Amino acid sequence: MREYLLTLCITAAVTYLLTGPVRKFAIVAGAMPEIRARDVHREPTPRLGGIAMFFGLCAGLLVADHLTNLSEVFEKSNEPRALLSGAALIWLIGVLDDKFEIDALIKLGGQMIAAGVMVVQGLTILWIPLPGVGTVALTQWQGTLLTVALVVITINAVNFVDGLDGLAAGMVCIAAAAFFMYAYRIWYSYGIEAAAPASLFAAILMGMCLGFLPHNMHPARIFMGDSGSMLIGLVLAAGAISVTGQVDPDVMKLFSGSERNAVHQMVPVYIPLLMPLTIIAIPAADLILAIVRRTWRGQSPFAADRGHLHHRLLEIGHSHSRAVLIMYFFSALIAFGALAYSVNAASMWIVLSVVFLSAIGLVLLLLPRFTPRAPRWAEGFVPPRYRRRKAATVTASGSGTAAAANEGEDADEERVPVTAGASGVNGATALGSRSRTR
What pLDDT band is residue 205 in, cutting at 50, 70 and 90?
Answer: very high
Are the C-beta atoms of 69 and 76 separated by less than 8 Å?
no
Report pLDDT for 355: 78
The model's pLDDT over 107-131, given as tens digits with 9 standing for 90+, comes to 999 999 999 999 999 898 887 766 6
What pLDDT band is residue 263 in, cutting at 50, 70 and 90?
Answer: low
Q: Please give the share of the chain, as a percent, with pLDDT higher than 90.
A: 27
Peptide bond connecting 272 to the previous residue in cis, omega within 30 degrees of 0: yes
Are the C-beta atoms of 76 and 117 separated by less than 8 Å?
no
Mean residue pLDDT across the chain: 75
Residue 94 has pLDDT above 90, yes or no: yes
97-106, 255-264, 408-417, range with the lowest pLDDT: 408-417
Report pLDDT for 57: 96
Q: Please give the share of the chain, as a percent, with pLDDT higher than 70.
A: 64
113-122, 260-269, 277-286, 314-323, range with the lowest pLDDT: 260-269
Alpha carbon distance 5, 2 (integer Å): 5
DSSP H stretches of helix in 274-388: 281-296, 309-315, 320-343, 348-365
Are the C-beta atoms of 308 and 163 separated by less than 8 Å?
yes
**Which residues, 6+ apart, have CB-to-CB distance to 398 below 8 Å?**
none
Average pLDDT over residues 222-241: 91
**CA-wise closest residue to 107 among 85, 90, 119:** 90
What pLDDT band is residue 80 in, cutting at 50, 70 and 90?
Answer: very high
Region for residue 231 given its phi and psi (left: phi exceeds 0; alpha: psi -120 to 50; beta: otherwise)? alpha
Report pLDDT for 59: 96
What pLDDT band is residue 218 in, cutting at 50, 70 and 90?
Answer: confident
Peptide bond connecting 129 to the previous residue in cis, omega within 30 degrees of 0: no
Residue 419 has pLDDT above 50, yes or no: no
Average pLDDT over residues 335-345: 73
The model's pLDDT over 346-384, given as tens digits with 9 standing for 90+, comes to 567 777 887 788 788 777 766 665 555 667 777 776 656
What pLDDT band is residue 34 in, cutting at 50, 70 and 90?
Answer: low
Alpha carbon distance 152, 137 (integer Å): 22
Alpha carbon distance 248, 130 (integer Å): 12
- What one-character DSSP code corresponds to residue 16? H
- What one-character DSSP code corresponds to residue 258? S
Average pLDDT over residues 188-194: 73
Residue 159 has pLDDT above 80, yes or no: yes
Alpha carbon distance 228, 242 (integer Å): 21
Residue 344 has pLDDT above 70, yes or no: no
Residue 144 has pLDDT above 70, yes or no: yes
Residue 311 has pLDDT above 80, yes or no: no
Residue 390 has pLDDT above 60, yes or no: no
Region for residue 281 given its phi and psi (left: phi exceeds 0; alpha: psi -120 to 50; beta: otherwise)? alpha
The model's pLDDT over 46-70, given as tens digits with 9 standing for 90+, comes to 889 999 999 999 999 999 999 988 8
Read off the amino acid at residue 213.
Answer: L
**Radius of gyration of the chain, Cα coordinates, nearest whole angstrom:** 23
DSSP H stretches of helix in 30-139: 50-65, 71-76, 79-100, 104-120
Average pLDDT over residues 218-239: 90
DSSP string, 389-400: -HHHHHHHHHTT
Residue 430 has pLDDT above 50, yes or no: no
Alpha carbon distance 140, 50 (integer Å): 32
The model's pLDDT over 2-20, given as tens digits with 9 standing for 90+, comes to 899 999 999 999 999 999 9
What pLDDT band is residue 232 in, cutting at 50, 70 and 90?
Answer: very high
Residue 193 has pLDDT above 70, yes or no: yes
Are the C-beta atoms of 168 and 224 separated by less than 8 Å?
yes
Report pLDDT for 415: 35
Residue 158 has pLDDT above 80, yes or no: yes
**47 CB-side CA count, 13 A:** 21
232-241, 364-373, 427-436, range with the lowest pLDDT: 427-436
